[in-house]
Structure 1
């Protein structure tokens, strides 16, 4: 599992690009990511409990794409692993037990990532210096 540290959980350059591209819609779309992510994680966990690989595919796919949009690559990779395993299990009629490790990692990874994204998106938070510049003393 990725360590829960901000510089590993989020590619801040990709995050800044998303913020620029989305402009005034950024905060609203980040809110959708939060809502969709909570639902996707819950659906994936429920599908794991019921050994239903088919029910894992769409929420994992959704979480993967939305995570990449905000530079949350470790979260996207975890969701991608779940999606890939689930698709393989559906095709071969297996139970998705192989996905358990990733499903267990998913919720804490999502929560840590979301906390970082929301903190960085908050207009009241002091911004980190970009590109190695140090703030004036």
Structure 2
């Protein structure tokens, strides 16, 4: 996976981190747990052709994603939520959402992986190809003005 800057708004993420203070990591863990459940509920609702069951998990995922700057994930969740709401009113199933529901899991997993890299000191933050086995590690810039 590449660290696409388009998946997370890091300025928003860091602002949330500062605002939430010591509770940030705990609240981020809730995002992971709730997100896994929401994505599974959305997938189940699509398989079962249950339009009403799409709304609440999509709404939950939308709000929690926005809280942490995961706007692309929030946008897909919002599209699912709004389309499902409209389809409830028109008494039809939103078959057109299949591509978004398929994309949702992958994007959620990518987002969580990026959050993990940003918050877990045990996860390496080096870009691929920087350092590593067989490469000379240099600190030539250290101490220079």
Range of TM-score over shorter length: 0.7 to 0.9
Deviates more, 1:3-12 or 1:31-40: 3-12
Residue 41 in 1 paired to residue 36 in 2? no
Higher RCO, Cα 8 Å, sep 6+: 1
> How far apart are 1:5 and its partner, in Å?
3.9
The residue aligned with 2:77 is: 79
Whichever structure has more helix as a proportion of its residues is 1
Q: Is the 8 A contact 2:3 2:114 kept in 1?
A: no
How many Å separate the matches in 1 of 2:66 and 2:125?
22
Matched, 1:24 2:30: no
Q: Please give the alpha-carbon distance, in whole angstroms, between the structure 2 residues aligned to 1:16 and 1:5.
A: 17
Structure 1 unaligned spans of 5+: 129-135
For the aligned residue pairs, the C-alpha RMSD in angstroms reads: 1.9
2:95 aligns with: 97
**1: distance between equivalents of 2:11 and 2:105?**
24
Following superposition, the deviation at residue 25 of structure 1 comes to 0.3
Classify 1:106/1:11 alpha carbon distance in 2 versus 1 (closer, same or farther; 3 Å): same
TM-score by length of 1: 0.87
Question: Greater shift after overlay, 116-125 or 100-109?
Answer: 116-125
- Partners in 2 of 1:127 and 1:42 — Cα distance? 29
Are the aligned partners of 1:4 and 1:112 in contact in 2 as well (CA < 8 Å)? no
Aligned length: 128
> Which 5+ residue runs of structure 2 have no aligned equivalent?
127-139
